[in-house]
Chains A and B, each alone.
Chain A
Amino acid sequence: GIQVEQSPPDLILQEGANSTLRCNFSDSVNNLQWFHQNPWGQLINLFYIPSGTKQNGRLSATTVATERYSLLYISSSQTTDSGVYFCAVIKAAGNKLTFGGGTRVLVKP
């Protein structure tokens, strides 16, 4: 099956800092999503981004499908950004959403 690797596994930020999270995948994909799992366990959709660049407020994401990676940018981080960020993909011609191991982010005030 497809492999999805996220880095770094853990990230501690001071409030106001910027950061970049990376997702590498081992095969061509036709679906890539970024999620934020908040401290209450909810999985919140951030981006549906199989290719290209999108922005939503302080968050933006870029997927370079030909090079098999995606980046999630967090700017001016806030304590509410704390939680686990997951990247998930569906392999081209596949039908299963495969998750990476997540990046645990802690934003300190």
Chain B
Amino acid sequence: DTAVSQTPKYLVTQMGNDKSIKCEQNLGHDTMYWYKQDSKKFLKIMFSYNNKELIINETVPNRFSPKSPDKAHLNLHINSLELGDSAVYFCASSRGSIPYEQYFGPGTRLTVT
């Protein structure tokens, strides 16, 4: 009965590879997000989708591409991985796009070697 789930939990890969992180929510929420937490624990939003439509796209390299096949899923694909992409990536969801409470997944720790 996990509310927001992510796979994989850990991802270790080499520079230059392409990888994907998957996120699913079973809360019936309309809006999903991707956040990045850096080594200093600072959390910042990357993308947001509302009913499969992109509504937030922060200044993220275009090597990062979110895809939302339906409103319960939001995947993150990363091309040509770089050392600086190493971080913890969190998926989140909320009932609506603006003032509603956001619920976070367990995070995916990405390590690029």
Contacts and interface: CB of A to CB of B under 8 A. Distances in A.
Chain A interface, DSSP helix/strand/loop, else mixed: strand
Given A41-B88, A96-B56, A33 B97 contact: no
Interface stretch (B12-20, B60-68, B70-78, B104-112): B104-112
B84 interface: no
A41 B107 contact: yes
A31 B100 contact: yes
Contact of A33 (B48, B88, B102, B109): B102
Contacts of B43: 86, 88, 99
Interface in A42-87: 42-43, 45, 48, 50, 84, 86
| Secondary structure dominating the interface of B | strand
B90 A31 contact: no
Interface residues of A, number: 23
Interface in B16-38: 33
A33 B33 CA distance: 16
Interface in B80-113: 88, 90, 97-104, 106-107, 109
Nearest to B43: A99
User: Most B CB atoms within 10 A — which of A41, A84, A88?
Assistant: A41
Contacts of A95: 48, 55-56, 97-98
A99 B90 contact: no
Interface of A: 30-31, 33, 35, 37, 41-43, 45, 48, 50, 84, 86, 88, 90, 94-99, 101-102
Listed from nearest, the 6 A-B pairs whose CB atoms lie closest are A48-B101, A43-B104, A99-B43, A30-B99, A31-B99, A96-B45
